[in-house]
Amino acid sequence: MVERAIINIMSSITILGIESSCDDTSAAVLRDCVLLSNVIASQSVHEAYGGVVPELASRAHQQNIVPVVSEAIRQAGIQRGDIDAIAFTRGPGLPGSLHVGTSFAKGLALALDIPLVDVNHLHGHVLSHFIKLDADTVVPTFPYLCLLISGGNSQIIRVNAPDDMQVLGQTIDDAAGEAFDKCAKVMGLPYPGGPVIDKLASEGNAKAFKFAKPHVEGYNYSFSGLKTSFLYTLRDQLKQNPNFIEENRADLAASLQRTIIEVLMDKFTRAIRDTGIKTIAIGGGVSANSGVRAAVEQYAQQHHLTAFIPARKFTTDNAAMIAIAGHFKYLRHEYCDVTAPPFQRVTI
**Alpha-carbon gap, residue 153 to 93, rounded angstroms:** 12
**Bond before 95 cis per omega within 30 degrees:** no
Q: What is the DSSP letter of 80?
A: G
Type and span of the H or E element at 35: strand 34-41
Predicted local distance difference test score (pLDDT) of residue 36: 98
Contact 260, 180 (CB under 8 A): yes
Mean pLDDT of the chain: 94
Length of the chain: 348
**Alpha-carbon gap, residue 49 to 284, rounded angstroms:** 23
Report the DSSP beta bridge partners of residue 307.
280
* Cβ-defined contacts of 215-219 (< 8 Å, 24+): 216/172, 218/169, 219/156, 219/168, 219/169, 219/267, 219/270, 219/271
Backbone angles phi, psi at 303, to 5 degrees: -115, 15
* Crossing angle of the two packed helices 193-201 and 176-186, in degrees rounded to 10: 80
Predicted TM-score of the model (pTM): 0.93
Backbone angles phi, psi at 112, to 5 degrees: -90, -10
pLDDT 10s per residue in the chain (348 long)?
A: 333 333 344 469 999 999 999 989 999 999 999 999 999 998 776 676 677 788 898 999 999 999 999 999 999 999 999 999 999 999 999 999 999 999 999 999 999 999 999 999 999 999 999 999 998 999 999 999 999 999 888 999 999 999 999 999 999 999 999 999 999 999 999 988 999 999 999 999 999 999 999 889 999 999 999 999 999 999 999 999 999 999 999 999 999 999 999 999 999 999 999 999 999 999 999 999 999 999 999 999 999 999 999 999 999 999 999 999 999 999 999 999 999 999 988 778
